Amino acid sequence: MATISSSFLQTLNQPSPISFKPNQISKNRAVSFKIQAAKIPAGVEMPKSQPTFKAPFLGFTKTAEIWNSRACMIGLIGTFIVELILNKGVLEMIGVEIGKGLDIPL
């Protein structure tokens, strides 16, 4: 059930000395709408202020960063488990020789 009340809609029904075209809004009139969709259930209180939305900086939202950090922790722990089971490091698994440093003769 939707109700729309407006001072603008009320003025359209009254005869006006100014010529008014149906698709044109006069700049001198204030237009205000109050839209009410449904009754609020009993026991529910309306919020005292409207929430403000801050645009995310380059997509860095708090929720995205929390999920990224959780995925990183799972991946890191998984890597530790694989290294523990195979007794090799990640670099050794992909074929890189390690343990000799730069191998420069002094």
Q: Which pair of tokens denotes residue 87?
A: 């007794």
What would the pLDDT profile of 35-44 be if each residue is shown by its tens digit? Answer: 776 788 888 8
Output the pLDDT for position 1: 46
More confident: 98 or 88 = 88
What would the pLDDT profile of 35-92 be if each residue is shown by its tens digit? Answer: 776 788 888 888 888 888 778 788 788 889 999 999 999 999 999 999 999 998 888 8
Tell me the pTM. Answer: 0.41
Q: Which residue has the tokens 């059930």?
A: 1
What would the pLDDT profile of 9-31 be if each residue is shown by its tens digit? Answer: 444 444 545 554 555 555 666 66
Q: Which pair of tokens denotes residue 57?
A: 């900086």
More confident: 10 or 104 = 104
What beta strand segments (E) does the chain contain? 3-6, 33-36
Please say whether the beta carbons of 26 and 18 come within 8 A.
Answer: yes
Output the pLDDT for position 99: 77
Domain extents for the chain? 3-36, 62-93
Output the pLDDT for position 9: 47
Q: Which residue has the tokens 């003769």?
A: 105
